[in-house]
Amino acid sequence: MLSDVPLSRRSTKDEGSASLEFIVAGLVLLVPIVYLVVVLFQIQAAVLATEGGARQAARLFVEAPNVDTATERASTAVEFALADQGIDDSAATVDISCADGGPQECLDPRDLVTVVVRVTIDLPLAPPVLGLDEIAVVPIEASAVNAVSDFHVVEP
């Protein structure tokens, strides 16, 4: 009986639902993927900034003529590296240390200077409800070690 009815007259209840299914499935799959890509780009930018900042800060610190200049140059290097990736430098902490103690004793020949840069990245679109914006953060830390040259002379 059904074979006697032409295809144009057969009633189907799926008319027009393919485009609706495509749009819904596309949104359900596309929105999380786009969000994941944005988050990964932010994390990668922070990793590049902290690693580059720590490495350059350690290099500049061991080549400086005195501790005050060394600290200033290291701070500038970290600020520049963070700004290059669009990260606010107020979210970063920089620790400079060496085997002998704090940064004041770090410019003796053969001292190993360690620079640690820490940054906290906030995940985008985290709602401030129930403190989720404070929980949805990714801490990133990078360190670099550089040795003071045997021929380094500390200026007063």
Residues 113 and 106 sit within 8 Å (Cβ to Cβ) = yes
| DSSP codes of every residue in 39-100 | HHHHHHHHHHHHHHHHHHHHHHHHHSSSHHHHHHHHHHHHHHHHHHTT--GGGEEEEEEETT
Per domain, the residue ranges of the chain are 17-147
Q: Is 79 buried (19+), middle (13-18) or exposed (0-12) by CB count in 10 A?
A: middle
What is the model's pTM?
0.78
Summarize pLDDT for 11-26 with one digit per residue, the tens.
556 566 777 778 888 8
Q: What is the mean pLDDT of the chain?
A: 85
Largest CA distance in the chain: 105
Alpha-carbon gap, residue 13 to 4, rounded angstroms: 20
Summarize pLDDT for 41-50 with one digit per residue, the tens.
999 999 999 9
